A and B are shown apart, each in its own frame.
Chain A
Amino acid sequence: MKLTELIQKLNLSVRSAKMQLDREVTGGYASDLLSDVLAHGEEGNLWITLQIHQNIVGVASMKDLAGIILVNNREPEPETLEKAEAEGLPIMVTEMPTFELVGKLYSLGIVGTK
């Protein structure tokens, strides 16, 4: 499923890289430990986290993730947004907590990678 479709179905708000939403999502990974995402995230994954520090952009770029969804109404820090724009990395936000969001993603066919 494409990122644009997910954004519409889950009513996500896009905060960066609005021109890069045409990408196919290969799966999902949920974690708030960035070292863990570096170890286990896979190319094209959507990453679900509550971390808003600029390093999330670095991790997502390194792993070539499709995008990041911030949960619980968290907003990215200004430096994070700046970097995400520069890298062309979509960051989306939702009021849903991780558990609920992941459940909905799963029911839409976005599953884990293992």
Chain B
Amino acid sequence: MRKVRADLHLHTCLSPCADDLMQATTIIEQAKQIGLDMIGICDHNSGENVRALMKAGERQGLAVIPGVEVTSREEVHILGLFSTEQDLMNLQDIIYENLPGQNDEEAFGPQLVIDEYDNVVDQNSRLLIGATTLTLEQIIDAIHQFAGLAIASHVDRQRFSLIGQLGFIPYGLMLDAVEVSNPSSAGQAYGYPVVTSSDAHFLEDVGKNSTCFMVEDVSLQEISKALRCELGRMVVSN
């Protein structure tokens, strides 16, 4: 078993609100430099840059977890983290079917799809900054349908968070964990396992906040076990 430092919530240049320098090689380089062993890529309502990041991660020696940050119709942000890119693409199909609107680049920013060498290969035209018509519960169910982990984003913030939007965590919600942005919130009793992530939109914020796991290897299965404290795996202090 070893200690793995992970920042499971990073955006790329696909998110209109993220910096254009959030590219494949730049993010991986920055993450390695700062000492992360594992990162999660979670753009708003799309997983189209995950492949580029996974390939760059493989080349440069860093584990990349495919993920997405879905916006519910209550405007709550939920992270879905998956074992494979295919599982993520299956969820993305459901998101796209339920995501109305077109992006206005002037208003919200560009949505760049890149390859593993940071070349821009496409622009996503959907309104990724918008909300899906899916309920919180439907999103969590869909994430689980494709064997993913469902984590409520930045619950210690007001904007777009489960607690900010809905006042409290609905009883019986099938979350695998909640995420906090501020490490000092991590000790709070949310009733769910807690991870700490940066939610970085700029390179300098990559790894600013992270979670340490005691696990066998850098896989989603191991993270999942650690969240449930199974077989000696656990979340440990930084």
A residues with CB within 8 A of B: 32-35, 37-38, 51, 53-55, 58-59, 77
Give the residue name and chain of the B residue nearest to A34 (CB): B167
Report the minimal beta-carbon distance from A96 to chain B, rounded to whole angstroms.
21
Q: Is the CB of A53 within 8 A of B136?
A: yes
Residue picked from B74, B136, B166, B167, most chain A C-beta under 10 Å:
B167
How many chain B residues touch A (CB < 8 A): the figure is: 11
Contacts of B166 in A (CB 8 A): 34-35, 51, 53, 55
Report the minimal beta-carbon distance from A27 to chain B, rounded to whole angstroms.
19
Chain A interface: which of B3-11, B47-55, B89-97, B157-165?
B157-165
A35 in contact with B163 given A51-B74, A77-B135 (CB within 8 Å): yes
Main secondary structure of the interface of B (DSSP, over half): loop
- Report Cα–Cα, A54/B165, bound state, in Å: 12
A53 in contact with B163 given A33-B158, A35-B158, A77-B135 (CB within 8 Å): no
- Report Cα–Cα, A51/B162, bound state, in Å: 13
Q: Is the CB of B135 within 8 A of A58?
A: no
A55 in contact with B168 given A35-B163, A77-B135 (CB within 8 Å): yes
Contacts of B74 in A (CB 8 A): 51, 53
Q: Is the CB of B170 within 8 A of A33?
A: no
A59 in contact with B167 given A33-B158, A51-B74, A53-B74 (CB within 8 Å): yes
- Report Cα–Cα, A77/B164, bound state, in Å: 20
Ranked 5 nearest A-B pairs via Cβ: A34-B167, A55-B166, A59-B167, A34-B166, A38-B167
- Report Cα–Cα, A35/B170, bound state, in Å: 13
Report the minimal beta-carbon distance from B155 to chain A, rounded to whole angstroms.
11
